[in-house]
Amino acid sequence: MSVPMPTSSSSSSTLQSGESRLHPFLATRSSLNLRRRLVNALVVLFTTLAALFAAGLLIYLLCYVLSQGLRYINLDFFTQLPTPNGEPGGGMGEAFQGSLILIALASLMGVPLGLFTGIYLAEFGRGPFAQGVRFLVDVLNGIPTIIFGLLAWVLIVIPMQSFSGLAGGFALGMIMIPIVTRTSEDVLRLVPRELREASLALGATEARTILQIVLPAARNGIITGVVLAMARVAGETAPLLMTAFGTTFWNTDVTQPMDALPLRIFQFTLSPYQQQVNQAYAGAFVLIVLILLASLAVRLAAGGFKQR
């Protein structure tokens, strides 16, 4: 791409003028060349500015939230409960606890469903049925997450007459399924065919080949997909509004309302007390750092996976 542009006038001089007019790149007149170069320069300028503006805007947002949040991070923030009415001190301990429990619940549902669907699609998935499943999983990935919140609300919260961690875990699990499915299908397809054939040639059954040869070979990639899915649901707020609902007390009972980091950030952002707004920034800081770490880990793991 960095090849220097040949001047088109030299190449076009051998052509008839009628032909050159038909051909947009071989203009004879240097004024046309000038126009082309000018247009080219303008496009380079516009795209560069667009990229700078887009990147600048987003970097500004990131840096602003991070720098605000960093000021209010301390040990208490991770271990204490929120103080009532914006009194100084306190933290978001119950939100971290709740987020961990919710992600664990979601993984219990999303990882097996996603992984086995991925195995099916990668190993047995031929024909229109598998194609349909693949398409549906992709579409599922684009459904607004609040829809899954509504689903869990109708299915679990209303019958149980209580917001609960269980309902939150179910809604988050639904969000995890398509992510885990697609990444595990992709990495299982990357496992070399020779590995499977060697295993089958040694007399291993198909099931054994998949479970003991193919899955371990794809382990890193599958873990990557699971981490990605966990990072995604760790930041989900909308489906938790009407399911886990949030609380400001320690709670390990999954049949009761449960807090989550993004929920607490949401509620404290809208709080009238400056102390709670500051803690919302601190929560946002932690959330961004967690997701940054997950992205980096995924990058590194993916790089390592491709090298092998």
Q: Which residues in the 216-245 window bind other proteins by CB under 8 A?
A: 231-232, 234-238, 241-242
Q: Is 1 in the site for other proteins (CB under 8 A)?
A: yes
Do residues 168 and 109 lie in contact, with contact meaning Cβ atoms separated by under 8 Å?
Answer: no
Minimum distance of other proteins from residue 232's CB (angstroms) = 7
Q: Verify binding: residue 6, other proteins, rule CB under 8 A.
A: yes
- Tell me which of 43, 63, 195, 202 binds other proteins, using CB under 8 A: 43
Q: Which of 184, 251, 287, 305 binds other proteins (CB under 8 A)?
A: 287
Interface of this chain with other proteins, residues 161 to 190, rule: CB under 8 A: 174, 177, 181
Q: Is the separation of the CB atoms in 114 and 177 below 8 Å?
A: yes
Question: Is residue 270 involved in binding other proteins (CB under 8 A)?
Answer: yes
Q: Which is nearer to other proteins, 74 or 212 (CB)?
A: 212
Residue 15: CB minimum distance to other proteins, A:
12
Q: How far is CA 103 from the centre of its chain?
A: 15
Backbone angles phi, psi at 258, to 5 degrees: -135, 145
Residues 101-140, interacting with other proteins (CB under 8 A) = 112-113, 116-117, 119-121, 123-124, 133, 135-140
Query: For residue 204, with 0-12 CB atoms within 10 Å meaning exposed, 13-18 middle and 19 or more buried, which class applies?
Result: middle
CA distance 125 to 278: 50
The C-alpha atoms of residue 219 and residue 305 are separated, in whole angstroms, by 9
Number of residues located near other proteins, criterion CB under 8 A:
96
- φ/ψ of residue 249, rounded to 5: -125, 160
CB of 291 to other proteins, least distance (A): 5
Pair of tokens at residue 47: 């795209």
Instruction: Record the tokens describing residue 71, joined without a space.
Output: 């000021």
CB of 67 to other proteins, least distance (A): 12
- Nearest residue (CB) to other proteins, 223 versus 288: 288
Nearer of residues 81 and 109 to other proteins, judged by Cβ: 109
At closest approach, how far in Å is the CB of 36 from other proteins?
Answer: 5
Are 192 and 231 in contact, with CB atoms under 8 Å apart? no
Contacts (Cβ under 8 Å, ≥6 apart) of 280: 264, 265, 266, 268, 269, 271
In three-state secondary structure terms, 150 is helix
Q: What does the per-residue mask of binding to other proteins show for 47-86, with x meaning CB under 8 A?
A: xxxxx-xxx-xxx-xx-xx---------------------
Q: Which of 95, 102, 265, 282 binds other proteins (CB under 8 A)?
A: 265
